[in-house]
Amino acid sequence: MTLPSRVQLIDVGPRDGLQNEKTPVPAAVKVALVHRLQAAGLTEIEVTSFVSPKWVPQMADNAEVMAGIARQPGVRYSVLTPNLKGFEAAVPTRPDEIVVFGAASEAFSQKNINCSIAESIERFAPVVEAARAAGIEVRGAMSCTVGCPYEGDIAPERVGYLAGLMKQIGVQRVDVADTIGVGTPRQVQRAFEATLAHFDLDHVSGHFHDTYGQALSNTLSALQMGVWNFQSSVAGLGGCPYAKGATGNVATEDVVYLLRGMGIDTGIDLDALIDAGVFISEQLGRPTQSRVARALLARRAG
């Protein structure tokens, strides 16, 4: 077993973490969060999504947020674009990467985006083509790769099927996501094994939710396979509106602490990251969901 010496983290807090907040978060707060994350050393940040404000009102200020960011060299700013209309709205804001999303579960695909898996790929194909033609990177988010709230366990073959379709339309890298946080290490490894039949290790990432407290264990299981790219959310923000009981993404602070303890470099300042998590948590009126942050803050106070 050879563990990676360095791990790249994508913080999805500004987009995936905030999208389901019922109270509007001001654009200035979202911009400030991005600034704090990049100041802490994050070099990949998922900023916002270009979706209909009817469905995701929290992201209606997408262009304002993108315009407000003081961009740093070497930082990749990504946005979610589920269709060609969203992509065309995103292009003037100069994203470095766009994200399309599909599900390994037919039922989840229907509930989430009102179409089958195959239909979703047909919808994404012109988006991917347009992005690649414009020199914009493309990432594919693969949700429900180990479990679905409607279908239960997801067979690795379904994950491989989705990964193959993503590859066919030109997606450059994919996320293996445990959207509802039910996965355990061996299940996660099987999902990665299916994905690695289509994408190499440099073009896959892990995206874990912590509903059943397995996110760090699943991160370790992916690390043991050589995976070196992961997504996480500052302060453990986020959830899934189509998965009852699903909690937030694994906290970036907790992942950084794990990696630091293993001698794996992330380039991230943990203290500055904790402060970023405290900032957004205070704005939302609740404590940070990062266990590491809570423990280290208690130590500071003591």
Catalytic residues: 240
Contact assessment for residue 170 and residue 203, using Cβ atoms and an 8 Å cutoff: no
Buried b (16+ CB within 10 A) or exposed e, 249-265: bbbbbbbbbbbeeeebe
Q: How far apart are CA 166 and CA 189, in angstroms?
A: 19
Q: Tokens standing for 194?
A: 């299916």
Q: How far apart are CA 260 and CA 286, in angstroms?
A: 27
Kindly report the backbone phi and psi dihedral angles of residue 213, in degrees, each rounded to the nearest multiple of 5, phi listed first: 70, 20
Q: Indicate the burial class of 54 (C-beta count within 10 angstroms; 0-12, 13-18, 19 or more).
A: exposed
